[in-house]
Amino acid sequence: MKRAIVIAAALVFGGLLINAIVDLPSSPVDLRIAVADNMANSGVSHPVTAVLLNFRGYDTLLEIAVLLLALIGLMAAGPMLPPPPNQPADALLQKLARIATPPVIVVGGYLLWAGAFRPGGAFQAGAVLAAAMVLLHLSGLLSAWNAQLLPLARRVILVGGFVLFLCISVALLAAGSLLQYPPHQAGLLILLIESGLTLSLAAILAGLFLFLSRDNGGAP
């Protein structure tokens, strides 16, 4: 009974939604023009990076805070057992992980650098580095993280990107208004923030996996 009602409601909802989307008049506000007009002052030449780090830098600041909160929640809810000692995985997989990791780190660095003028940036670079860490863990080369025993260096990397971003925005608030970069230093500030964000995002995204994982790659 519930099933039939929900399916009927979903069909009606979907139909109305699609109807609304197809009939929607074009929006009176075109943000493309606003973005294009201000690109010269943004410090970067790739519009998506300009929106993320400059025009809507506020969103990105809050986003990294949300990610940290999610990670802290996950550490609190995660497994209480300490991770088992690493067991070496299949030799071939381990070799592959050893060969693949250095180029992946280079790709991460390139994506961070490329974000200023073409598709790429801190998010993609962080995600690629996190994927490399997950690969290392699955091949038994990097042990899972223990939420109870977290070395200071790891904590610094986890919160570093957020703290750096926050400090820069507070400093800018003292100088004028929140996250309004002076046009001449904008490019440098964005690169600095993005570098911090890349490291923190890589650690946080990898942490989402490494704090939870209590399997070692080798054992089935």
Partner 1 sequence: MSSELLFAVVGALIFTLGVAGTVLVANLLRRILAFNLMGSGAFLVLVGLAQRGGESDPVPHAMVLTGIVVAVAATALALALLRKQHEMKDSEEELTEIDDG
Partner 2 sequence: MSATLAFDLLLSTALVWSAWRTITANRLDQAVVMFIVFGLLMTLAWCRLRAPDIALAEAAIGAGLTGALLLDALGALRKGKTARRRQ
H helix runs in 24-56, sequence order: 31-38, 47-50
Q: State how far the Cα of 220 lies from the Cα of 201, in Å rounded to an integer.
A: 29
| Residue 124: CB minimum distance to partner 2, A | 4
Q: Which does 140 bind (CB under 5 to 8 A by kind): partner 1, partner 2, none?
A: none
Q: Which of 43, 60, 101, 159 binds partner 1 (CB under 8 A)?
A: 60
| Residue 45: CB minimum distance to partner 2, A | 14
What are the φ and ψ backbone dihedral angles of 12, each rounded to 5 degrees?
A: -60, -45
Cβ–Cβ under 8 Å, residues 67 and 201: yes
Question: Which 3 state secondary structure label does DSSP give 102?
Answer: helix
| Residue 209: CB minimum distance to partner 2, A | 6
Show contacts with partner 1 in window 140-199 (CB under 8 A). none
DSSP 78-107: S--SPPPPP----HHHHHHHHHHHHHHHHH
Provide the b/e sequence for 175-208 (b: ≥16 CB within 10 Å): eeeebebeeeebbebbbebbbbbbbbbbbbbbbb
CA distances from 149 to 119, 152, 199, 212 (A): 38, 9, 20, 14
Q: Which of 38, 74, 157, 166 binds partner 1 (CB under 8 A)?
A: 74
Q: Which does 38 bind (CB under 5 to 8 A by kind): partner 2, partner 1, none?
A: none
Q: Which of 1, 26, 174, 220 binds partner 1 (CB under 8 A)?
A: 26
Question: Which 3 state secondary structure label does DSSP give 8?
Answer: helix
Cβ–Cβ under 8 Å, residues 33 and 176: no
| Residue 156: CB minimum distance to partner 1, A | 20
Residues that bind partner 2 (CB under 8 A): 48, 111, 119-121, 123-124, 127-128, 130-131, 134, 138, 205, 208-209, 212-215
| Residue 71: CB minimum distance to partner 1, A | 7
| Residue 152: CB minimum distance to partner 2, A | 26
Cβ–Cβ under 8 Å, residues 149 and 17: no
Q: Which of 157, 208, 215, 218 binds partner 1 (CB under 8 A)?
A: 208
**Contacting residues toward partner 1, per CB under 8 A:** 2-3, 6-7, 10-11, 13-14, 17-18, 21-22, 24, 26, 31-32, 35, 47-48, 50-52, 56, 59-60, 63, 66-67, 70-71, 73-74, 77-79, 123, 127, 201, 204-205, 208-209, 211-212
